[in-house]
Amino acid sequence: MVDVDAVLQRSHPRHALLIDPADQEPEIAAKRAIAAALAGSSMILIGGSSGTDNRNVDDTVVAIKEALELVEWASTQHSDSSQNSNIPVVLFPQGANALSPNADAITYMMLMNSKDPRFLIGEQVAGAQFIRKSGVRPISMGYLICAPGGKAGEVGMADLIQPGDTERVTSFAMAAEMFGFRLLYLEAGSGASSPVSSDLIKAARSSTDLPIVVGGGIRGVEAARRAVESGADWVVTGNLGEEFDDADELKAVLQDMIKAINP
Ligand code: 1GP
């Protein structure tokens, strides 16, 4: 059984690989997910800001789930294997039209600094019946888009949080906790030229006990380490995974990053 509760624990800094179904075929996505699982990643997120729909999301989820199950089965045949490839596959959707009933969970998010009610509550209501019927577990999440914000910021009509606006992130982090959200995600936007600032992560960290997820523009060990030293519980990388077609190379790169955030 996949342990979704583990996502909510603040045990040690962890890595999640974000797979965008609009950018890669399901078989490639599955290879990358296996590489991540074998490197020690703890979650696969599925989503993107544009170009995803129920079909490409579901095809990708199914391919990844099957591949991870196969690797897990294979590892049970070797008593010396300690690697857990049974990691959760979690939807990180652009909206109610990019869901799959086959995922383990969904980040059921409010884009708290959006100016568009659609991203505050509209898409969430539109997807509610599907999620309930499918049995996919919702993980309520406060989602904050920080500058530069990228496509996620544009599509989500975010009133971006600037790198030094610690007061604002403090209030949002407290509000996320008061709403009862289970996770707080600080996003700089996929491919961001600079990741979420340490000041923002530190301010959020000192304002809430919620697990903090940080992503956007994290390309290397240094940025990942900085995010964790500032208080991130989860480091998400998306583009980095897409740079490697060779699974062994990707595994090696992710292993280095995971080692760096868990010295
Ligand atoms: C985007 O935070 C994620 O939602 C990942 O960003 O693609 O820049 O790693 P990158």
Per the domain annotation, does 61 fall within a domain? Answer: yes
The whole domain housing 60 covers 12-261
Cα 239 to middle of ligand 1, angstroms: 6
Per the domain annotation, does 3 fall within a domain? Answer: no
Cα 156 to middle of ligand 1, angstroms: 15
Residue to probe by mutation, ligand 1, list 46, 49, 146, 218, most atoms within 8 Å of CB: 218
Q: Which residues contact 125 (CB under 8 A, 6 or more apart)?
A: none
CATH of the domain at 150: 3.20.20.390
Residue 1: its pLDDT value, please? 81
The atom number, within ligand 1, closest to the CA of 216 reads 6
Per the domain annotation, does 96 fall within a domain? Answer: yes
Per the domain annotation, does 5 fall within a domain? Answer: no
Per the domain annotation, does 199 fall within a domain? Answer: yes
The answer to whether the CB of 47 is under 6 A from ligand 1 is no
Residue 79: its pLDDT value, please? 61
Report the percent of the chain where pLDDT is more than 90: 92
Indicate the helix (H) or strand (E) that contains 227.
helix 221-230
Give the residue-averaged pLDDT of 65-76. 90
Number of domains in the chain: 1
pTM over 0.75: yes
Residue 82: its pLDDT value, please? 58
Using pLDDT thresholds of 50, 70 and 90, give the confidence band for residue 77: confident
Residues 6/181, Cβ–Cβ less than 8 Å: no
The atom number, within ligand 1, closest to the CA of 189 reads 1
Per the domain annotation, does 202 fall within a domain? Answer: yes
pLDDT one-digit tens code per residue, 5-53: 999 999 999 999 999 999 999 999 999 999 999 999 999 999 998 999 9
- Diameter of the chain measured on Cα atoms: 53
pLDDT one-digit tens code per residue, 84-127: 778 999 999 999 999 999 999 999 999 999 999 999 999 999 99
Residue 247: its pLDDT value, please? 95
Per the domain annotation, does 31 fall within a domain? Answer: yes
Residue 234: its pLDDT value, please? 98
Per the domain annotation, does 116 fall within a domain? Answer: yes
